[in-house]
Amino acid sequence: MPLRILLADDHHLVRAGIKALLAQFPDYQVVGEAANGKEMLQLIPSVKPDVVLLDISMPELNGLDAMGRMTRQFPQTRFIILSMHATEAFVLRAFRSGASGYLLKGCSVTEFDLALQAAARGEFFVSGGVSHYLVDVIRRDGSEPSDLRAQNELDEELTPREREVLQLIAEGHNTKEIAEKMGISAKTVKSYRVSLMQKLGVHEVANLVRYAIRAGIVNIE
């Protein structure tokens, strides 16, 4: 049976290009497409993919947070990050969130195919362009640089719902819009915002936006 693949990327042309590429391989079948993390969450239970190819920077709910919610619920599904981000912070956070592979969007077709084959075997795959970050961690006896460690400690204090509110705030949505998107009251949104400011030690929305960009919750673009 072909490997069932779900594509999650907010750019239609990117999804179309990946789908056309996968059509050249008889062992792969695209069973669904999502334009953001929320759509990905909704599709996984129904299409039951073997592998999810997902971008990090997606609106409403980014790829890393969406993946983190699904890895425990669907342990047999493998998640491969396909991203333009090539920094240590993103690579380490991706694997902490449950990724089985990390590819750069500039990778070769051969590397792309190898990553999918590794996922099918239940193995891990790291793009050559970012593998040195994992080697660096091993050389540091598994520790992280102090700035990354501090960032991760702050990230771990935030609940999934707080991170979702933070992303929507950073994307420019107002309280009413966030309430409608999340299906909660405006009062609850305000409570989340207060909690975020307290946990992150900031006092202005602009500082929340800066944190979201620095933490990779939203794309600076």
Over residues 109-126, the pLDDT tens digits come to: 999 999 999 999 999 998
What are the domain boundaries of the chain? 3-139, 158-214
Give tens-digit pLDDT for 159-186.
889 989 999 998 899 999 999 999 999 9
Q: What is the pLDDT of residue 184?
A: 93
pLDDT of residue 194: 92
What is the rounded distance in angstroms from the CA atom of residue 215 to the CA atom of residue 201?
Answer: 15
Identify the weakest region by mean pLDDT among 54-58, 68-72, 121-125, 152-156.
Answer: 152-156
Q: CA–CA separation, 216 vs 93, rounded Å?
A: 10
Query: 């030690």: which residue's tokens?
Result: 201
How much is the pLDDT for 141? 58
SS3 state at 199: helix
**CATH hierarchy code of domain 3-139:** 3.40.50.2300
Count of C-beta atoms within a 10 Å radius of residue 109: 10
Topology classification of domain 158-214:
Arc Repressor Mutant, subunit A (1.10.10)
Burial 64-88 (b: 16+ CB within 10 A, else e): bbbbbbbeeebeebbbbbbbebeeb
pTM of the model: 0.77
